[in-house]
């Protein structure tokens, strides 16, 4: 076995908001990747617009830095469990992981999720406690929590001997002792070189290159990103592509690229342990192996966890269909969804009995809402149904997905939170107090019990609560859960909203739209405090009469409408409602627009 001492491959894993992307920024800056006068954006790794707006990482991306003649390939991974499919396959490319934990918050659900995957694959961990400069940081306690988590997840003795580095990614320093803040990231670089194993493999063997990611380039086409597991890859080399279904295909590697900083740089050869990009192979997919012609041995690929939530994507058939979007037909929708599953491994798309409807399954509501938002920005127009959890039959019994939920709230709000989660079939596992009058609560709860809960949680805690959850296996079905206690306010006719009509409607509930907005019959314009739906006429104008009375013509005061985001709309709608998504608007509507038809159907059901 040859050992590449001048190379290290690491992934940075952590819970969302614990500072992964900021840490990678500092490693890039301090390794001299950027010129002294170069203007560098904050969170340079989050290149996608949605990532920048939301401050989250959605797609994992490799980068490389040089330190004392050693090349370190670093992969920044997403923190949300909804993008766990990204994390799982990225771990195939690396030899060790840097586990980043917030020195104040400690271990969170997603920390647990990604660490479990890394330990299961036998990766060597290096723990970094970030944000040690934060008020209330508790490094000693958090190190104990991390150790408990390692033991709970079944880490072996070698993995339990993890080194700990204390850092502040924002201020750009790391140290081996939290009492003595450092001046730069050198202690972290040294720890990576010393603790993370160098890649090993047979450099003189026949080529094996496992593809873990797909990129695309408008000039070059599809690009496979993967790691050379054996042998050497060369520019222009003839090879065999082994598909995941067992078939093979003769291909040629047109060009090889390696990462230097944030750039892809052409190279002639790549050997064991190198993370490379391969262009010129058009049919390449995630999980496939490129082998040499003389020895065709495909590598096994990591099994990606199954989706837990599904929703229907439907061609828009509302009265406003086709006004705002560029791509509106079922063929446009089908092509776009099937293109998405080429790179989004954790997603499933199925055709249904109707040519206009596609069933899309993903890892969670966030996973699907990011896809919806991305398509909307690409000028697609369509409708989506309410997210449904995916149940399974196990030993003849119906099982449903469960979530492990961690909540931190000020003590005064514990009552309402416990009451709501109890009614949603939540089961209390653990409860404790933290400094500053904060209660830490852990639950196991059915996934469907959490749908639509976040807005209620924020209301119940006056926005002071923190809530995180992660998929935690399947359990027998827990029975009926009533999650929505309010009805909808539904527009009576097609037209434009008028202040007079809205003023009368706002007494019936909370409005989602203001004056001068086009609406159609059957569109949802607000929420009713009662459980049944109410039809309101928001286009109603005041009749002009000859009579004038003092005071009757005073300005009508409207309460400002509640503007709903895409996620809030998906959480609000009931099973008989849809969200209409266009590049310019997000509207909610009844599946059956006519009030008469809805009443007939309700009568038939009775």
- On whether 19 is known to bind a ligand per the annotation, the reply is yes
176 three-class SS: coil
230 three-class SS: strand
- On whether 364 is known to bind a ligand per the annotation, the reply is no
CA torsion angle for 329, 331, 335, 341 (degrees, to 10)? 80
- On whether 243 is known to bind a ligand per the annotation, the reply is no
Q: Give 228-288 as a DSSP string.
A: EEESEEETT-EEEEE-TTS-EEEEE--EEEEEEBTEEEEESEEETT-EEEEES-TT--TT-
Q: Give 557-585 as a DSSP string.
A: PPPPP-PPPHHHHHHH--TTEEEEE-SS-
- On whether 116 is known to bind a ligand per the annotation, the reply is no
Question: Taking a C-beta distance cutoff of 8 angstroms, is the pair 83, 364 a contact?
Answer: no
Q: Which two tokens stand for residue 482?
A: 């009533």
Backbone angles phi, psi at 149, to 5 degrees: -65, -45
Q: Which residues contact 163 (CB under 8 A, 6 or more apart)?
A: 126, 127, 191, 195
- On whether 316 is known to bind a ligand per the annotation, the reply is no
Q: Which two tokens stand for residue 489?
A: 């306010």
Closest CA to 102 of 55, 60, 148, 135: 135
- On whether 130 is known to bind a ligand per the annotation, the reply is yes
DSSP 7: E
Is the four-CA dihedral 411, 412, 417, 419 of positive or negative sign? Answer: positive
- On whether 21 is known to bind a ligand per the annotation, the reply is yes
Question: Taking a C-beta distance cutoff of 8 angstroms, is the pair 20, 79 a contact?
Answer: yes
The label of the residue with tokens 């697609």 reads 380
- On whether 551 is known to bind a ligand per the annotation, the reply is no
Chain centroid to CA 263: how far?
25
- On whether 117 is known to bind a ligand per the annotation, the reply is no
- On whether 133 is known to bind a ligand per the annotation, the reply is yes
Q: Which two tokens stand for residue 41?
A: 């954006």
Give the span between the Cα atoms of 477 and 457, in whole angstroms: 24
Give the span between the Cα atoms of 251 and 240, in whole angstroms: 6
Please enumerate, by residue number, every residue annotated as part of a binding site: 17-22, 130-133
Binding site residue list for GTP: 17-22, 130-133
């Amino acid at each position: 076995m040859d050992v590449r001492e001048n190379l290290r491959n690491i992934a940075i894993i952590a819970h969302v908001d614990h500072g992964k992307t900021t840490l990678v920024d500092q490693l890039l800056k301090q390794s001299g990747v950027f010129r002294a006068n170069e203007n560098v954006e904050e969170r340079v790794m989050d290149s996608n617009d949605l990532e920048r707006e939301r401050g989250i990482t959605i797609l994992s991306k490799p980068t490389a830095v040089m330190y004392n003649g050693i090349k370190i390939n670093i992969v920044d991974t997403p923190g949300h469990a909804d993008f766990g499919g990204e994390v799982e396959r990225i771990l195939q490319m690396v030899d060790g992981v840097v586990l980043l934990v917030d020195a104040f918050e400690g271990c969170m659900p997603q920390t647990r999720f990604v660490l479990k995957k890394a330990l299961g694959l036998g990766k060597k961990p290096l723990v970094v406690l970030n944000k040690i400069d934060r008020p209330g940081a508790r490094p000693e306690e958090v190190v104990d929590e991390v150790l408990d988590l390692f033991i709970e997840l079944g880490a072996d003795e070698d993995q339990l001997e993890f080194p700990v580095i204390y850092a502040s990614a924002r201020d750009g320093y790391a140290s081996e002792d939290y009492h003595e803040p450092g001046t730069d990231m050198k202690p972290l670089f040294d720890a990576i070189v010393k603790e993370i194993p160098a890649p090993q493999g047979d450099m003189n063997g026949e080529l094996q290159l496992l593809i873990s990611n797909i990129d695309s380039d408008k000039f070059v086409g599809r690009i496979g990103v993967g790691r050379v597991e054996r042998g050497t890859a060369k520019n222009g080399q003839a090879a065999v592509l082994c598909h995941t279904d067992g078939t093979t295909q003769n291909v040629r590697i047109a060009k090889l690229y390696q990462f230097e900083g944030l750039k892809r740089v052409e190279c002639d050869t790549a050997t064991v342990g190198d993370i490379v990009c391969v262009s010129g192979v058009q049919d390449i997919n995630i999980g496939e192996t490129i082998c040499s012609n003389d020895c065709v041995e495909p590598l096994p690929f990591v099994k990606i966890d199954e989706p837990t939530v599904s929703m229907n994507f439907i061609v828009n058939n509302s009265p406003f269909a086709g006004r705002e979007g560029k791509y509106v037909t079922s063929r446009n929708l089908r092509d776009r969804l099937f293109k998405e599953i080429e790179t989004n491994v954790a997603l499933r798309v199925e055709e249904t009995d109707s040519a206009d409807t596609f069933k899309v399954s993903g890892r969670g509501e966030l996973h699907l809402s990011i896809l919806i938002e991305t398509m909307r920005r690409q000028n697609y127009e369509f409708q989506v149904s309410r997210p449904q959890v995916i149940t399974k039959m196990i030993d003849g019994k119906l099982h449903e997905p469960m979530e492990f939920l961690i909540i931190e709230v000020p003590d005064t709000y514990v009552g309402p939170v416990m009451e709501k989660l109890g009614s949603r079939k939540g089961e209390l596992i653990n409860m404790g107090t933290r400094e500053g009058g904060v209660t830490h609560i852990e639950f196991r709860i059915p996934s469907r019990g959490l749908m639509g809960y976040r807005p209620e949680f924020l209301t119940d805690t006056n926005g002071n609560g923190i809530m995180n959850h992660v998929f935690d296996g399947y359990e027998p079905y827990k029975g009926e859960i009533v999650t929505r206690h309010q009805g909808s306010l539904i527009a009576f006719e097609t037209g434009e909203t008028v202040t007079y009509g809205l003023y009368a409607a706002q007494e019936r509930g909370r409005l989602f739209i203001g004056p001068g907005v086009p609406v159609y019959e059957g569109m949802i314009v607000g929420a009713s405090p009662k459980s049944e739906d109410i039809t309101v006429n928001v286009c109603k104008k005041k009749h002009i009469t000859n009579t004038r009375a003092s005071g009757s013509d005073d300005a009508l005061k409207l309460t400002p409408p509640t503007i709903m985001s895409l996620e809030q709309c998906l959480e609000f709608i009931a099973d008989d409602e849809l969200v209409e998504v266009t590049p310019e608007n997000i509207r909610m509507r009844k599946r059956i627009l006519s009030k008469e038809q809805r009443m007939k159907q309700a009568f038939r059901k009775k």
